[in-house]
Structure 1
Amino acid sequence: MLMSLTTALPDPSVKLPREIKVLVAAAFLIAVGFGIVAPVLPQFAQSFNVSVSAAAIVVSAFAFTRLLFAPLSGVLVERLAERRTYIVGIVIVAASSAACAFAQNYWQLLLYRGLGGIGSTMFTVASMGLLIRLAPPQARGRVSSLYSGSFLLGGIAGPAIGGLLAGFGLQLPFLVYAGALVLVALLVATQLPALVAATPRLAVVPRPATGPDGATPRPVAADVRAAAPVRVPVPAVPVPVPAAKARPLPLRAALGLPAYRAVLVSGFANGWSAFGIRMALVPLFATAALGAGPQVAGISLAVFAVGTGVALMFSGRLADTWGRKPMILLGLAVNGIGMGVLGFTGNEFWFFVVSAIAGLGSGLMGPAQQATVADVIGNDRSGGKVLATFQMSQDFGTIIGPIAAGAVVDAFSYGPAFAMATAVALLAALFWLPARETQR
């Protein structure tokens, strides 16, 4: 009984495979490159003498094609395997970014940027699949936290570098981004072999016929029980099996699990709040409601990211020890309440404080959500369509959230628009309440 309890608990000291570190380093480079392009993309679009709305469409085109081609990326992961799909996706985004630098008019820029979204969803779904296949089951939350943290740090460093590069021309950041992505493709191709992480198994070891001193052990009343074999856990090790041979998990089977349906809704809520309303509505609120300049909006976004980063320092380990469900419910509550209160703040101080709290909630549930999807798929299966559907739920929330919130602002005010994020988070929590914990 003691042994079974010990092996059931996650081991926080479990060693992560080297391949995980390669993926984390690649994620950092990708995020830095994306951050380099982000601040100059709208300016580059407006350099073709188009309106602000047209410039915003260039930004949205990337997310739209990600959502549109997410199902195809899931199919490619199952047919080509994660590693190959990852590399091809990275190369597509690199080519798209380089082409943007040489765009001669607005429509070329829109086309090239939109094509980059196809490659983006390919490597996003593939990277999640690789993390699931390579991460030890006892450390899935910790791995998700580490991966998300690398993206966060890259996203913070990238815009600062992009602002400096923009002084040498608006085309240069796109070329630097393309070069960074080529480096990522080479890194993954050379340092990440096509291996599958084996699922931990139990080895059957017969009980010894003699005692520790070599003598025959004293007979006991339950002879059959004494002769029963002992199951000893054997650590999981990567085995050289091509990833393409892994059997896929049907999407219908995953949708039959309440936890997977719940994580789709909570992913939608996180996309609505953390990626949609935060990026689209917070800058406008800072200017219109608080009467502050764009620097205050920028600081609030950075404060939100800091809150997320602080949570990621411990939320992954807690997801491996406390469980996925408690962390997701806690994150939904903190983020939902924080975003709802944000629309009623009246000065910059409380605006920053509440932004940090909302970011903390996003960081609390992020690793637990990814770990839940990993639990559903498992190490020994390919889940391209399952992963793509989860990614689509977040992208869908990112697209729908700002549109719905903007309509509410036009009809009423900012307060009810931000309160919608609280309502969406509450809906996601209701889906999670009857769901069973997926951590074994």
Structure 2
Amino acid sequence: MSHLEPRDPAEPRIPTDPDEPPVETVPDAVPSASREKVPEAIKVLIAAAFVIALGYGIVAPVLPQFASSFGVGVAAASAVISAFALCRLVFAPVSGTVVNRLGERPTYLIGLIVVALSSAATAFAQTYWQLLVFRGLGGIGSTMFTVSAMGLIVRLSPRTMRGRVSGYYATAFLLGGILGPVLGGALAGLGMHAPFLIYAAALFVAVLVVWLRLKDETLGARRGAATQPVMRVRDALDAGAYRAALASSFSTGWTAMGVRVALVPLLATQIVGEGPAVAGLALALFAVGNACALTVTGRLTDRWGRKPLVLTGLVVCGVATIGVGLSSTVVAFAVLSLLAGVGSGTLNPGQQAAVADVIGPDRAGGKVLSRYQMCADAGQIAGPIIAGALADAAGFGWAFGVSGALMLIAALAWLPVRETAPDATRTETKE
């Protein structure tokens, strides 16, 4: 075929680069992404994600200060965030086996219950070490419901709307994140214990939603998964997009999930000169920027491809993060937090859709997904500890500067990556 001739959308496209994964094509009979409906099982996961994020957002503004109330420094207070991620990281390889043996729905429910009980126990911690242990145990349950949910989303998402589904799921988390930190800051007057109990209650609500609504669709997916070939991690690593996604996942875990939650409340208190209310506002603005970006970038990821949105998001989030550490006024602090959220919301749908493209709907990718999640957890572990130590030794400017630089380095990893979005998908969406 001449390079000047248009390609038939139904004709398979053969990758010309060893780093490029096989690309799925969409036959003419498949409806466009804009006309497809989101599967009911994914709607249930989206609703549960909102409830989970709402509870976590309530805890986020007070967690580092609760740790500081035991008389520890910034690094030790930040380690409470890392303990949660450490248990997620350690248990992640096992979570895939648990899903295969119990099924997605039981694994999801057990994970939520474990996190709920951990949060309730955290509220009654009497020492710093009890707080560290109770919070860390919640990470085991967290990785259980995270990996099972990711597997379902990859398998059940129509291939022409993977970006949209990733955007919807992330938006649910962030809408909860918009309300959660604001409520958490307002509830600070009730004491350090109340937010953790409210978080536990929110998780039990999510358990109820999933228990009642996520039934036949999930069980059918599990039966179908039994005959699917398993994708090995080494096969996924042959794809440049997966390797780049691991790098950006690590930097996002470090900066957007770790340092943001651990150091922003402390920066608000020590540098900007305000308390939990402003810390909650900054976290909420990050979530607002994230959610606003997701309303657009999910569809754009399916239309323009994964790579352009990921690159843009990494650069915006990285530069804004560096600026947050240099803030000296509430206005600058708030605006840069908002921009960092916009960057994070721009990159996430493309990053997750690229991983889904590499796996595809016809292969079991539990181990591939767990390694992807482990990179985010590793960043969330290392970020608060190392950035917290930098803040103690050299100031918050260095802590946030290094964190933002990691996002820019991850952007460099995406530059040579071949686009993974099926050409037919992008053609249909434009039409």
Aligned with residue 98 of structure 2, among 76, 84, 92:
76
Task: Map 1:156-235 to 2 at 5 A.
Answer: 156-162=178-184, 173-193=195-215, 195=217
**SS of residue in 2 equivalent to 1:437:** coil
Q: TM-score, normalised by structure 2?
A: 0.81
Structure 1 match to 2:306: 324
Conserved 8 A contact 1:336-1:423: yes
Q: What is the CA–CA distance in structure 2 between the aligned matches of 1:240 and 1:384, rounded to whole Å?
A: 12
Structure 1, 102-111 or 368-377: larger mean CA deviation: 102-111
Rounded to whole Å, the distance in 1 between the matches of 2:280 and 2:181 is 11
Q: Which moved more, 1:188-197 or 1:28-37?
A: 188-197
Q: Which of 343, 348, 351 is matched with 1:361 structurally?
A: 343
Q: 2: distance between equivalents of 1:133 and 1:276?
A: 28
Instruction: List gaps (5 residues or longer) in structure 2.
Output: 1-6, 11-25, 423-431
Aligned match of 2:365: 383
Q: Give the distance between the partners of 2:72 and 2:319, measured in 1 at CA.
A: 35
In structure 2, the residue corresponding to 1:439 is in which secondary structure? coil
* Cα distance, 1:257 vs structure 2: 1.3
Matched-pair contact (CA < 8 Å) for 2:180–2:284: no
2:210 partner amino acid: V
The aligned counterpart of 2:19 is none
* SS of residue matched to 1:15: coil
Cα 1:193–1:391 change in 2 (3 A) is: same
- Paired residue for 1:232? none
**Residue 276 in structure 1 maps to residue 298 in structure 2:** no
1:434 aligns with 2:401: no
Using the TM superposition, give the Cα deviation of residue 293 of structure 1 relative to its aligned residue in structure 2, in angstroms.
5.1
TM-score by length of 1: 0.80
Q: CA deviation at 1:17?
A: 0.9
Which is further off, 421-430 or 339-348?
339-348
Note the C-alpha offset of 1:382: 2.0
Q: Which amino acid aligns with 2:213?
A: Q
The more displaced of 378-387 and 399-408 is 399-408
Q: Which amino acid aligns with 2:253?
A: G
List aligned pairs for 1:12-161, cutoff 5 A: 12-39=34-61, 41=63, 51=72, 56-101=78-123, 107-161=129-183
Query: Partner of 1:241: helix, strand, or coil?
Result: helix
Equivalent residue for 2:291?
A: 309
Question: Matched residue of 1:438: which SS?
Answer: coil
The alpha carbon displacement at 1:410 in A equals 4.7
Q: Check whether the contact 2:175–2:288 (CA below 8 A) recurs between aligned residues.
A: no
Amino acid at match of 1:118: I
Distance 1:310 1:323 in 2: 19
Once the two structures are TM-superposed, the CA of residue 348 in structure 1 deviates from its matched residue by 3.4
Alpha-carbon deviation of 1:34?
2.2
Whole-Å separation in 2 of the counterparts to 1:164 and 1:295 = 7
**Percent of matched pairs sharing the same residue:** 54
SS at match of 1:425: helix
Relative to structure 1, the CA distance from residue 147 to residue 339 in structure 2 (aligned partners, 3 Å threshold; closer, same or farther) is same
Q: 1:92 to 1:402 in 2, by over 3 A?
A: closer
User: Which of 210, 232, 239 matches 1:257?
Assistant: 239
Does 80-89 or 15-24 show the bigger shift?
Answer: 80-89
Q: In the aligned structure 1, how far is the partner of 2:8 from the partner of 2:185?
A: 57
Is the deviation greater in 154-163 or in 258-267? 154-163
Q: How many angstroms does 1:123 deviate by? A: 0.4
Q: Write out per-residue CA displacement over residues 36-59 of structure 1, whole angstroms, 9 at most, x where no aligned residue.
A: 344455566677x55466665444
In 2, the alpha carbon distance for the partners of 1:324 and 1:50 equals: 45
- On the 8 A contact 1:63/1:395 being kept in 2, the answer is yes
Partner of 1:205: none
Q: CA deviation at 1:9?
A: 9.6
Higher relative contact order (CA 8 A, sep 6+): 2
**Could you report, residue by residue, the CA deviation over 1:95-143 in whole angstroms, capped at 9, with x for unpaired residues?**
3334445656655444333221100111011111111111111111111
The AA in structure 2 aligned to 1:357 is L
Q: Which amino acid aligns with 2:34?
A: P
Structure ID, larger Rg: 1
Relative to structure 1, the CA distance from residue 52 to residue 15 in structure 2 (aligned partners, 3 Å threshold; closer, same or farther) is: same
Q: Quick one: distance in 2 between partners of 1:386 and 1:435?
A: 18
Q: Is residue 268–residue 393 contact of structure 1 (8 Å, CA) maintained in 2? A: yes
Equivalent residue pairs, number: 399
Between the aligned partners of 1:82 and 1:359, the Cα distance in structure 2 is 30
Cα distance per residue 1:285-311 (max 9 Å; x no partner): 444444555544433322222211110
- For residues 308 and 239 of structure 1, do their structure 2 counterparts lie closer, same or farther at Cα, with a shift above 3 Å needed? closer
Partner Cα separation in structure 2 for residue 406 and residue 371 of structure 1: 32
What is the deviation of 1:353? Answer: 2.4
Q: Deviations over 1:71-111 (max 9, x none)?
A: 22133234433333212212222333344456566554443
CA distance, structure 1, for counterparts of residue 131 and residue 394 of structure 2:
35
Match of 1:343 among 300, 325, 328: 325
What is the CA–CA distance in structure 1 between the aligned matches of 2:262 and 2:67, rounded to whole Å? 18
Quickly say closer, same or farther: Cα 1:163–1:284, change in 2 above 3 A: closer
Question: Aligned AA for 1:140?
Answer: R
Q: 1:321 to 1:250 in 2, by over 3 A?
A: same
Cα distance between partner residues in 1 of 2:240 and 2:31: 23
Separation in 2, partners of 1:131, 1:106:
37
**Which deviates further from its counterpart, 419-428 or 246-255?**
419-428
Matching residue's letter, 1:360: V
Query: Given the superposition, is the C-alpha separation of residues 266 and 51 from structure 1 closer, same or farther in structure 2, using an over 3 Å criterion?
Result: closer
